[in-house]
Each structure stands twice: as C-alpha cells, then as structure tokens.
Amino acid sequence: MNKIVCLSLDSQRLSVQVLKSLTINGSKNLILFNEKIGFVNSKYKEKFEKFVVYSRLYDKKILGLSSKKVKEISEVQNKLFEMQMAAPGIEPGIYAS
C-alpha cells in the first residue's frame, strides 16, 4: 500500500491529507484484481479493457524475439498506448498542474 501526501495551503493554514492508493504491478495481477474485486467506475473499467487488449497484442508481438527486437517493439507499442490512453485535450507526457 502506497501513501500519497497532499498538501494544500490556504490563507489561514497548511493542510496535510494522507491518501491511500493501491499499486498492482503486472497484467496478471490486474486481471486477477478485476476478477476478484472489479472496477466500479466505468472510466477505469474502460481503461482496464484497453490495457488488456494492449497487453495481449504486446505479448504476441514479442513472442520468441531477441531482447533488442523486444526493446524496439516496446518503444513503439508503448508510445501508441500512451497516445490512446491520454485524456482528450491533453498531450501524452504533459501533466496538468
């Protein structure tokens, strides 16, 4: 379990909130999470479905390839996925403040 600390400052005082987030590494763990718990928010369900398609495509493309070729495919595939997952009106790699 990771902790995320949010600081906010108004004219009177400094406020500190600790939020909790769940980190799930690996596509198999994410699929297991969906099976056991699931996603309530339709936005996250849609993102999960897009990730599953990406993951299966990626696994098929790298099957039996050398690590050099895998790296080349990974860079292209990850860039395409990043562009697909970007919020409308926000360029990939640019974070809103």
The confidence score (pLDDT) of residue 21 equals 63
The confidence score (pLDDT) of residue 11 equals 60
Residue 95 lies in a domain: no
Residue 40 lies in a domain: yes
Looking at the DSSP bridge assignments, the partners of residue 21 are 2
pLDDT means per 10 residues, the chain with 97 residues, are 56 64 76 88 88 86 83 82 71 54
Residue 41 lies in a domain: yes
The pTM assigned to this predicted structure is: 0.56
CA dist 74 → 4, 36, 48, 51 (Å): 29, 29, 19, 14
Q: Containing domain of residue 69, as a range? A: 27-89
The confidence score (pLDDT) of residue 85 equals 74
Residue 56 lies in a domain: yes
Phi, psi of 15, rounded to the nearest 5 degrees: -115, 135
Number of domains in the chain: 1
The confidence score (pLDDT) of residue 57 equals 85
